[in-house]
Amino acid sequence: MQEYRSSVDSELPRLPKSPTGIEGLDEITEGGLPEGRPTLICGSAGCGKTLMGIEFLVRGIQNYNEPGVLMAFEETAPELAANVASLGFDLVDLQARKMLRVDHVHVDRSEIEETGEYDLEGLFIRLGHAIDSIGAKRVVLDTIEALFSGFPNQGVLRSEIRRLFRWLKDKGVTTIITAERGDGTLTRQGLEEYVSDCVILLDNRVIDQITTRRLRIVKYRGSTHGTNEYPYLITQDGISVLPVTSLKLDHPISNNIMSSGIPALDEMFGMRGFYQGSSVLITGTAGTAKTTLAAAFAEEVCQQGQRCLLFAFEESPQQLLRNMKSVEIDLASHVASGLLRIEASRPTINGLEQHLVTLHRLVKEFKPDAVVIDPITNLITVGNIAEVRSMLTRLIDFLKVSGITGLFTALVSGRGQQQEMTDEGVSSLVDTWISVRDLEGIGERNRGLSILKSRGMAHSNQVREFVVTEHGIELLDVVVGPTGIVTGASRLTQQLQEHAQTLAAQQETDRRDRELERRRRVLEANIANLRTEFESVEEELRQINTDAQNRQETLTSGHQRIAAANPPRRDAPASGEKN
């Protein structure tokens, strides 16, 4: 079904769009503003309407080689150029290159003589000439209230507004018209939003003493678009819109493995570490060595010749370097080599969106292979839980799309043995979740570590006790007692008992070996005695046989001598026989 839909969507004609070049805005508008049609940007004072229009023109020139016309009814050309110079927009240079035309139209109600036949024909001629003089593709009118301030007749006003929008459509230029927000309506006149093809609402609100700007696309004829409220920022690089739900789960993945920096911890994972580009969350109560685990990972990344960007919200860089050096984690050398960059600040220095934009900017500048944030819990002081969850969702998505491994630490409240949710509610978003906790025994507190989940690989289900030594973090072997896993002093007692039992067993084995050796020697002695006795009997019997044989031989020899000494006589010849 999904394949059928995607094939049908690819065959359907799409509305031509003009990309704005504003970061994030093209994403939520799915390509930009309607090409050749007017777009209305409305909002209260200070929300950035004029800046968005000027950036639309500048980005169009820089990125798409589309000339533009800016017709302003409130500020002069020098004032506009000075206002946006700090953002790197050189309007004077663009005008000199014939890529931009800035025209200030002074509208004074006292100088306008209204008649039944009064219209905007003069404005059309002036605007048309500006467009044709440079071949403009983009136009910005700022603001429409100043233009129609001399029209008290509502009938004439509405007629001229419709005619202005129709003229812009017929001209075929992509136009942005800025308007002030009215009471209960999007604009002062309440008509512009109906004749516009696209309406973007900007809002500047203050919540809990924190200023936040929000953008919402009210309508977009002929195209789908993001319908949520999106935070946006005005930075030194211009406007940056931060989509919340527009990112799709189609980022690339990697089968490469990154070590945690602790060999014994790597052994608890089926693949001996984390997947590169995945997200790792370390949660635990205060004092459970979350920062030390994060620093060990950062050191391992740098030792592999890769870059790591570390955000610290609780410690200064100098304090962090000193504390980690005490456990033989040398971060200072990696900072000196340029492989590690530490950004330390209080979370309250900026809003959530500013933190996200800062991270985006630093990632683009530093190009890290891994990002560590310690801890994300402090961001709750800047916004509520829902806003923090939204910001962290966008952050995790951004890192995954960029193929960057992210490791976050978070403080969990309570001392329950099973802390299944973090305060930020991001435990379900991460790929690997490591929990560190207190293992309280009789009169002592120990630390335990376990892996709650690790997507895509087998992992240990044991709770491993670990200690922080001068050589770093060491995971101890699991010791099981009569009532289960034991730790701390009970662990030592159990080990001593096991050692005593092993020693007793060894001693018993040695005793049995000695008894066996004694019996073997006795048996061998008995065998030797029997062998000696047998040899004596054998010798005696051999002598008897020899004596008997000698007697027999002597007897036989005697008989032979007797026979030889007495030969047999011959008988006398018979009578009458001749001699």
Is the predicted pLDDT of residue 230 greater than 60, yes or no? Answer: yes
- Phi/psi for 9 (5° steps) reads -60, -35
Give the residue among 191, 205, 237 at the shortest CA–CA distance from 89.
Answer: 237
Tell me what pLDDT residue 184 has. Answer: 65
Separation CA 563–CA 557 (nearest Å)? 10
Q: What percent of the chain has pLDDT over 70?
A: 80
Separation CA 236–CA 167 (nearest Å)? 35
**E-strand stretches of 65-173:** 68-72, 100-104, 138-142
Q: How many CA atoms lie within 13 A of 30 on its CB side?
A: 16
Residues 6+ apart with CB under 8 A from 391: 352, 353, 355, 356, 379, 383
Identity at 359, one-letter amino acid code: L
The tokens of 338 are what?
């340029």
The tokens of 435 are what?
């929990």
Q: Answer with the residue of higher pLDDT: 103 or 160.
A: 103
Contact 331, 324 (CB under 8 A): yes
Distance, C-alpha 7 to centroid of its chain: 33
List 200's β-bridge partners, or say none. Answer: 41, 217
Indicate the SS3 state at residue 115.
coil
- What is the chain's mean pLDDT, rounded? 81
User: Would the pTM of this model clear 0.85, i.e. be above it?
Assistant: no
List 192's β-bridge partners, or say none. Answer: none
| pLDDT per residue as tens digits for the range 77-94 | 899 999 898 888 999 999
Mean pLDDT, rounded, for 145-162: 70
Of 398-412, 430-444, 466-480, highest mean pLDDT: 398-412
Tell me what pLDDT residue 421 has. Answer: 46
| pLDDT per residue as tens digits for the range 233-259 | 887 778 888 665 445 666 778 899 999
- pLDDT-derived band at 263, boundaries 50, 70, 90: very high
The runs of H, that is alpha helices, within 172-216 are 192-195
Is the predicted pLDDT of residue 391 greater than 80, yes or no? Answer: no
